[in-house]
Amino acid sequence: MNLAVIQMVSQDDVQTNLRLARRMLERAAQGGARLAVLPENFAAMGRRDLAAIGRAEAVGEGPILPWLKRAARDLSLWIVAGTLPLPPDDDAEGKPRACSLLIDDQGERAARYDKLHLFDVDVADNRGRYRESDDFSHGQRVVVADTPVGRLGLSVCYDLRFPELFGALREAGAELISVPAAFTAVTGAAHWQVLTRARAIETQCYVLAAGQGGEHPGLRLTFGHSAIIDPWGSVLAEQDQGEAALLASRDAAEQASIRQRMPVQQHRRFFLSGAPRPIVVE
């Protein structure tokens, strides 16, 4: 069981969230995981001081990054750290980004992905209006990285609705794709499972979808249903609500067989670099 997805119900207290995340990561490591994915906003939900949290972490004065590196070393585990509100690498005072870090089993940063698509959406729930761009700036890069369990593409939550990003990750060699998320209960019930399975099927990648699943400060409800999905679209493990450490194995030989039997990457006519583009006549 070399893959793990962690589901949480994070609150606004950082230390409490970190203690819970550590317990879940320990379960993952005990189950044999080499790579574990934490959910979006795993360290804090509902906080309004995100910029201050990010600046403190960036200058080495926050608790989250040292905790994360220590957990990776202690557990010999590669960790996708959900999201953290970190400023851009080149601008410590800039507006934070929803940053998903990949930490290797020595506690070193292996990759950083800044969320490309921000959730500026009206939803028919208790909150009604979500504007991530009030707190975050957009990322700029597609990111893939090598791990002991395969080549990993990174994404976050609302990115799921943009298949061109997932196509770019596959084109860059992704074999697995991490999706830390905090889908609302309303949008999750409508679309989460359809989207996660579709992204796995169309990219022929394992999708590691780590969600928040429960009630958070400010009457926010998240959908949960974290899952590990294989390249054929089969759900290998799933948790509806509450806390969990889900485990599954990557079968590299079967993944290669699926890609050989149905070589969709070679069949694509559009949207790859250097390929012809459709002509639209209006």
Residue 8 tokens read as 């949480």
Check if 205 is active-site.
no
Check if 40 is active-site.
yes
N-terminal to C-terminal alpha carbon distance within the chain? 52
Edge-to-edge strand list for the sheet holding 206-210:
144-147, 150-154, 176-180, 206-210, 226-229, 235-239
Contacting residues for 215 by C-beta, under 8 A, at least 6 apart: 9, 221
Rounded distance between C-alpha atoms, residue 252 and residue 259, angstroms: 11
Residue type, 112: R
Check if 115 is active-site.
yes
**Catalytic, out of 157, 175, 238, 243:** 157
Per-position b or e across 241-259, b if 16+ CB within 10 A of its CB = bebbbbbbebeeeebeebb
Report the candidate in 40, 35, 43, 116 with the shortest Cα–Cα distance to residue 76: 35
**Catalytic, out of 69, 115, 205, 243:** 115
Q: Are 40 and 8 in contact (CB under 8 A)?
A: no
3-class SS of residue 176: strand
Q: Are 102 and 109 in contact (CB under 8 A)?
A: yes
**Count of alpha carbons within 13 angstroms of residue 212, beta-carbon side:** 27
**Catalytic, out of 40, 57, 175, 238:** 40
Which ranges constitute the DSSP H helices of 176-251?
185-187, 193-203
- Indicate which residues carry an active-site annotation: 40, 115, 157
